[in-house]
């Protein structure tokens, strides 16, 4: 690559990184990514740094026709946490499962049989995979956001997604067309979080 090409790639990469922002799943509508775009988003995850080449995470897509199962799990998890939960709270938990046209759960694989790398390295790899997906979706013109919440740590979610004892549900990634955008947040400057030894 010539230095002019490098400059162009750098400008595009930094613009992409800095213009990405979290979009709440409730602000993501149709159309979502098509099959080819989904493949590209998932493939971007596979480009994450991966010490030991273990792919220490996996992705589980929740297609529209299976969202009702997620809705049930969210409600059951809520009731287990709070047996006084109101109908409105249950309805809110249920609705969360239907937000955003494309939804995928990111699962960290922490089982020792997978290889010698420390769990911390695996979580970092998973985080990088998430960021790759967010940036790929953003580059396609979609909005994307992460969601977690207490249900993520529930037995109901573990069961639904078939998580083994040493797997951990990290977050959901939602992708779709932005229906309403929020003002970008002010991000910290490098001097806020960096120092010199
Ligand atoms: C692992 C993880 C889980 C998240 N879960 C939620 C969530 O449940 N709800 C939410 O509103 N934002 C969630 N976020 C998104 C953050 O709120 C968002 O990244 C933050 O506000 C900074 O905004 P930005 O991404 O636009 O810079 C999550 C982020 C991460 C890294």
CB 31 within 8 A of CB 39: no
pLDDT for the residue numbered 44: 99
- Decide if 8 is inside a domain: no
CA of 99 to the centre of ligand 1 (A): 16
- Decide if 155 is inside a domain: yes
Which residue, among 101, 95, 122, 128, has the nearest Cα to 110 in the 3D structure?
Answer: 122
Which residue, among 67, 47, 31, has the nearest Cα to 140 in the 3D structure?
Answer: 31
* pLDDT > 90 in the chain, percent: 96
- Decide if 47 is inside a domain: yes
- Decide if 101 is inside a domain: yes
pLDDT for the residue numbered 101: 98
pLDDT for the residue numbered 93: 97
- Decide if 4 is inside a domain: no
DSSP letter for each residue of 74-119: HHHHHHHH-TT--HHHHHHHHHHTT-SSEEEEEEEE--GGG-S--H
Mutate to test the pocket of ligand 1, among 21, 99, 134, 147 (most ligand atoms within 8 A of CB): 147
Give the residues across from 146 on adjacent strands: 173
Q: Give the global pTM.
A: 0.97
Please tell me what DSSP assigns to residue 166.
T
- Decide if 91 is inside a domain: yes
- Decide if 176 is inside a domain: yes
| Ligand 1 and 174: CB distance under 6 A | no
Q: In the structure, what pLDDT confidence band is assigned to residue 1 with cuts at 50, 70 and 90?
A: confident
Q: Is residue 179 predicted with pLDDT exceeding 90?
A: yes
Mutate to test the pocket of ligand 1, among 18, 20, 22 (most ligand atoms within 8 A of CB): 22
What's the CA angle centered on 148, arms 178 and 72, to 5 degrees? 95
Number of domains observed in the structure of the chain: 1
Q: In the structure, what pLDDT confidence band is assigned to residue 71 with cuts at 50, 70 and 90?
A: very high
Which residue, among 117, 120, 145, has the nearest Cα to 22 in the 3D structure?
Answer: 145
CATH number of the domain that residue 110 is part of = 3.40.109.10
pLDDT for the residue numbered 4: 84
Q: In the structure, what pLDDT confidence band is assigned to residue 3 with cuts at 50, 70 and 90?
A: confident
CA of 147 to the centre of ligand 1 (A): 7
């Amino acid at each position: 690559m010539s230095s002019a090409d490098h400059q162009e790639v750098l400008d595009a990469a930094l613009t992409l990184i800095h213009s990405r922002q979290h979009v709440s799943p409730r602000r993501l509508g149709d159309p979502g990514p098509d099959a080819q775009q989904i493949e590209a988003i998932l493939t971007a995850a596979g480009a994450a740094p991966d010490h030991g080449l273990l792919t220490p995470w996996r992705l589980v897509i929740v297609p529209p026709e299976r969202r009702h199962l997620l809705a049930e799990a969210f409600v059951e998890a809520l009731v287990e946490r709070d047996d006084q939960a109101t109908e409105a709270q249950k309805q809110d938990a249920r609705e969360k499962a239907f937000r955003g046209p494309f939804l995928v759960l990111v699962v960290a694989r922490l089982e020792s049989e997978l290889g010698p790398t420390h769990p911390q390295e695996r979580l970092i790899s998973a985080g990088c995979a998430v960021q790759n997906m967010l940036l790929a979706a953003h580059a396609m013109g979609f909005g994307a956001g992460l969601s977690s919440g207490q249900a993520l740590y529930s037995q109901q979610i573990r069961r639904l997604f078939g998580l083994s004892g040493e797997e951990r549900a990290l977050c959901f990634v939602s992708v779709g067309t932005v229906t309403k955008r929020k003002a970008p947040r002010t991000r910290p400057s490098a001097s806020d979080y960096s120092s010199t030894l």
